[in-house]
Amino acid sequence: MTWGEDHELVARIVAVQDTRAFGELIRRHQSHVRNFLRKLSGDMSAADDLAQDCFMRAWDKLHTYSGSGTFIGWLLKIAYTTFLQSKRKSKRYAEILEQVGHVSEAESRTYAVQADEVTDLDKFLAVLSEEERAIMVMSYACGLSHREISEATSMPVGSVKSVIFRGKEKIRTSFDIKDHQHG
Protein backbone atom coordinates (compact mmCIF):
# COMPACT_ATOMS: atom_id res chain seq x y z
CA MET A 1 0.00 0.00 0.00
CA THR A 2 1.31 3.47 -0.88
CA TRP A 3 0.80 6.15 1.72
CA GLY A 4 0.30 9.82 0.99
CA GLU A 5 1.68 12.93 2.63
CA ASP A 6 1.86 13.29 6.41
CA HIS A 7 -1.28 15.41 6.63
CA GLU A 8 -3.24 12.82 4.61
CA LEU A 9 -2.13 10.11 7.01
CA VAL A 10 -3.11 12.27 9.98
CA ALA A 11 -6.55 12.89 8.48
CA ARG A 12 -7.00 9.15 7.95
CA ILE A 13 -5.94 8.34 11.50
CA VAL A 14 -8.24 10.94 13.01
CA ALA A 15 -11.18 9.80 10.85
CA VAL A 16 -10.96 6.02 11.25
CA GLN A 17 -8.28 5.48 13.91
CA ASP A 18 -6.13 3.63 11.41
CA THR A 19 -3.24 2.19 13.41
CA ARG A 20 -1.40 1.06 10.24
CA ALA A 21 -1.32 4.63 9.01
CA PHE A 22 -0.01 5.69 12.40
CA GLY A 23 2.68 3.01 12.11
CA GLU A 24 3.72 4.56 8.80
CA LEU A 25 3.93 8.01 10.41
CA ILE A 26 6.14 6.59 13.17
CA ARG A 27 8.40 4.86 10.63
CA ARG A 28 8.82 8.15 8.80
CA HIS A 29 9.72 10.24 11.82
CA GLN A 30 11.07 7.93 14.53
CA SER A 31 14.68 8.56 13.55
CA HIS A 32 14.36 12.35 13.93
CA VAL A 33 12.48 12.11 17.21
CA ARG A 34 14.85 9.54 18.72
CA ASN A 35 17.89 11.48 17.53
CA PHE A 36 16.50 14.67 19.03
CA LEU A 37 15.80 13.03 22.38
CA ARG A 38 19.13 11.19 22.41
CA LYS A 39 21.02 14.42 21.85
CA LEU A 40 18.89 16.21 24.41
CA SER A 41 19.22 13.66 27.18
CA GLY A 42 22.52 11.99 26.34
CA ASP A 43 20.99 8.67 27.38
CA MET A 44 20.04 6.35 24.54
CA SER A 45 17.69 3.99 26.32
CA ALA A 46 15.96 6.75 28.29
CA ALA A 47 15.60 8.70 25.05
CA ASP A 48 13.94 5.74 23.33
CA ASP A 49 11.51 5.36 26.24
CA LEU A 50 10.70 9.04 25.96
CA ALA A 51 10.25 8.66 22.20
CA GLN A 52 7.69 5.91 22.82
CA ASP A 53 5.83 8.15 25.27
CA CYS A 54 6.02 10.97 22.76
CA PHE A 55 4.36 8.88 20.02
CA MET A 56 1.70 7.65 22.44
CA ARG A 57 0.89 11.27 23.28
CA ALA A 58 0.94 12.15 19.61
CA TRP A 59 -1.70 9.46 19.03
CA ASP A 60 -3.95 11.05 21.66
CA LYS A 61 -3.39 14.58 20.35
CA LEU A 62 -3.42 13.96 16.59
CA HIS A 63 -6.78 15.69 16.22
CA THR A 64 -5.13 18.93 17.42
CA TYR A 65 -2.64 18.95 14.52
CA SER A 66 -3.91 21.73 12.30
CA GLY A 67 -1.57 21.07 9.38
CA SER A 68 -0.31 24.65 9.39
CA GLY A 69 3.30 23.70 10.20
CA THR A 70 5.31 20.63 9.37
CA PHE A 71 4.35 17.41 11.10
CA ILE A 72 7.90 16.87 12.38
CA GLY A 73 7.79 20.32 14.01
CA TRP A 74 4.56 19.40 15.75
CA LEU A 75 6.02 16.06 16.79
CA LEU A 76 9.19 17.62 18.18
CA LYS A 77 7.08 19.98 20.25
CA ILE A 78 5.49 16.95 21.91
CA ALA A 79 8.92 15.31 22.26
CA TYR A 80 10.33 18.41 23.96
CA THR A 81 7.34 18.65 26.33
CA THR A 82 7.67 14.94 27.14
CA PHE A 83 11.37 15.45 27.88
CA LEU A 84 10.74 18.45 30.15
CA GLN A 85 7.98 16.65 32.04
CA SER A 86 10.17 13.61 32.57
CA LYS A 87 12.94 15.90 33.86
CA ARG A 88 10.54 17.51 36.31
CA LYS A 89 9.33 14.10 37.48
CA SER A 90 12.83 12.74 38.04
CA LYS A 91 13.78 15.97 39.83
CA ARG A 92 10.81 15.61 42.19
CA TYR A 93 11.74 11.95 42.72
CA ALA A 94 15.33 12.94 43.53
CA GLU A 95 14.09 15.55 46.01
CA ILE A 96 11.90 13.00 47.77
CA LEU A 97 14.78 10.55 47.97
CA GLU A 98 17.00 13.29 49.32
CA GLN A 99 14.44 14.11 51.98
CA VAL A 100 14.37 10.51 53.18
CA GLY A 101 18.16 10.34 53.13
CA HIS A 102 18.75 8.24 50.02
CA VAL A 103 21.23 9.04 47.31
CA SER A 104 19.21 9.25 44.13
CA GLU A 105 20.29 7.06 41.25
CA ALA A 106 18.48 9.43 38.95
CA GLU A 107 20.61 12.24 40.37
CA SER A 108 19.84 15.34 38.30
CA ARG A 109 19.73 13.86 34.85
CA THR A 110 21.85 16.51 33.29
CA TYR A 111 23.54 15.86 29.99
CA ALA A 112 25.85 12.93 30.66
CA VAL A 113 27.28 10.37 28.30
CA GLN A 114 29.48 7.39 29.02
CA ALA A 115 33.15 8.32 29.12
CA ASP A 116 34.15 5.98 26.29
CA GLU A 117 31.58 7.46 23.93
CA VAL A 118 32.31 11.18 24.28
CA THR A 119 32.36 12.84 20.88
CA ASP A 120 33.05 16.43 19.90
CA LEU A 121 29.31 16.96 19.65
CA ASP A 122 28.84 15.70 23.22
CA LYS A 123 31.43 18.22 24.39
CA PHE A 124 29.63 20.97 22.49
CA LEU A 125 26.26 20.01 23.90
CA ALA A 126 27.62 19.81 27.43
CA VAL A 127 28.44 23.53 27.54
CA LEU A 128 24.89 24.48 26.55
CA SER A 129 21.91 24.93 28.83
CA GLU A 130 18.99 22.56 28.35
CA GLU A 131 17.00 25.14 26.42
CA GLU A 132 19.95 26.03 24.20
CA ARG A 133 20.66 22.37 23.58
CA ALA A 134 17.06 21.69 22.53
CA ILE A 135 16.97 24.64 20.18
CA MET A 136 20.40 23.96 18.68
CA VAL A 137 19.47 20.31 18.07
CA MET A 138 16.18 21.32 16.46
CA SER A 139 18.00 23.78 14.25
CA TYR A 140 21.16 21.92 13.26
CA ALA A 141 20.21 18.25 13.64
CA CYS A 142 16.55 18.34 12.62
CA GLY A 143 16.75 21.25 10.17
CA LEU A 144 13.76 23.11 11.60
CA SER A 145 13.32 26.76 10.65
CA HIS A 146 13.31 29.46 13.32
CA ARG A 147 9.53 29.73 13.00
CA GLU A 148 9.08 25.98 13.46
CA ILE A 149 11.36 26.01 16.50
CA SER A 150 9.40 28.93 17.87
CA GLU A 151 6.18 26.90 17.53
CA ALA A 152 7.77 23.80 19.03
CA THR A 153 9.18 25.59 22.06
CA SER A 154 6.41 28.20 22.45
CA MET A 155 9.04 30.94 22.33
CA PRO A 156 8.98 34.07 20.18
CA VAL A 157 11.04 33.80 16.98
CA GLY A 158 13.30 36.58 18.24
CA SER A 159 14.12 34.61 21.38
CA VAL A 160 14.86 31.51 19.31
CA LYS A 161 17.33 33.51 17.22
CA SER A 162 18.94 34.90 20.38
CA VAL A 163 19.27 31.45 21.91
CA ILE A 164 20.92 30.09 18.74
CA PHE A 165 23.24 33.08 18.63
CA ARG A 166 24.10 32.63 22.33
CA GLY A 167 24.61 28.89 21.88
CA LYS A 168 26.98 29.45 18.99
CA GLU A 169 28.86 32.06 21.00
CA LYS A 170 29.23 29.63 23.89
CA ILE A 171 30.55 26.91 21.62
CA ARG A 172 32.85 29.35 19.89
CA THR A 173 34.36 30.65 23.13
CA SER A 174 34.51 27.25 24.82
CA PHE A 175 36.25 25.50 21.95
CA ASP A 176 38.10 28.36 20.32
CA ILE A 177 36.66 27.40 16.96
CA LYS A 178 38.19 30.35 15.10
CA ASP A 179 41.69 29.05 15.70
CA HIS A 180 41.35 25.40 14.85
CA GLN A 181 38.47 23.86 13.00
CA HIS A 182 36.98 20.55 14.02
CA GLY A 183 36.73 17.65 11.59
H-type alpha helices, 100-119: none
Contacts with other proteins, 127-156, as mask; x by CB under 8 A: ---------xx--xx----x----------
Q: Which of 24, 84, 90 has the alpha carbon at shortest distance from 55?
A: 24
Smallest gap from residue 111 Cβ to other proteins (A): 14
Inter-residue contact 79 to 144 (CB < 8 Å): no
Interaction of residue 52 with other proteins, rule CB under 8 A: yes
CA atoms of 82 and 59, how far apart (whole Å): 14
In the complex, what is the shortest distance from the CB of residue 81 to other proteins, in angstroms, rounded to a whole number?
17
Say whether residue 64 binds other proteins (CB under 8 A): no
Q: Which is nearer to other proteins, 56 or 106 (CB)?
A: 56
CA distance readout (Å), 85 to 27, 40, 79: 24, 13, 10
- Using the rule CB under 8 A, give the single segment among 24-32, 79-87, 89-97, 105-113 that binds other proteins: 24-32
User: DSSP letter at 67?
Assistant: S
Residue 17 sits in the site that holds other proteins (CB under 8 A): yes
